[in-house]
Every structure is written in C-alpha cells, then in structure tokens.
Amino acid sequence: MGDAVKPYAVLLFATLLASGCAQPVWTSDDLSLSQLRLDKAGCATDARAADTYTGGLIGNPDMKDYFRECMVSRGYVEVSR
C-alpha cells in the first residue's frame, strides 16, 4: 500500500469502527432517567445471557435485536441523534 493511500485506509477503518460503536438513544415520556438506566442494564444483561455468538468486530446482530426488542417491550422508543 502506497504512502498516499495509508491515511485513507486509516480513515475508512476508523469510520467503520465508529459506526459499529454508535449507541442508540432511547426515550420514554413516562419513565425517569434512573429507570432508563435500570432498564438498559436489565436488557443488556438479558441480551448477553441469550447471546450465542462467538466473535466479530461489530458484535452479534441478534444480540442487538434482542436488546432493542427488550427496550421496546419496556415502553421505550429508539430515536436518532
């Protein structure tokens, strides 16, 4: 790889890595911030317990779906930043 290409490769890798690490924003009109923290922790614990995936850079898509479904079932809506 030439010296001129290396900065672009690093930028591409950093962008891909950051996009996989973005955290969703959850909201609910009826629940407090402390309840949100408890629910996120509970859903994360449940998602990890249900996880059967063994590796990868961006995590298990099924685990993310499980977490998302858990949050929705508790009355939250995912919003974009």
Q: Is the pTM of this model over 0.75?
A: no
Specify the pLDDT at position 17. 47
Question: Tell me: the pLDDT tens digits for 70-81?
Answer: 999 999 999 976
The more confidently predicted of residues 60 and 24 is 24
Helix/strand/coil for 17: helix
Q: Model confidence over 5-49: pLDDT tens digits? A: 555 555 545 554 445 556 779 999 888 999 999 999 999 998 888
Strands (E), 1-81: 25-27, 77-79
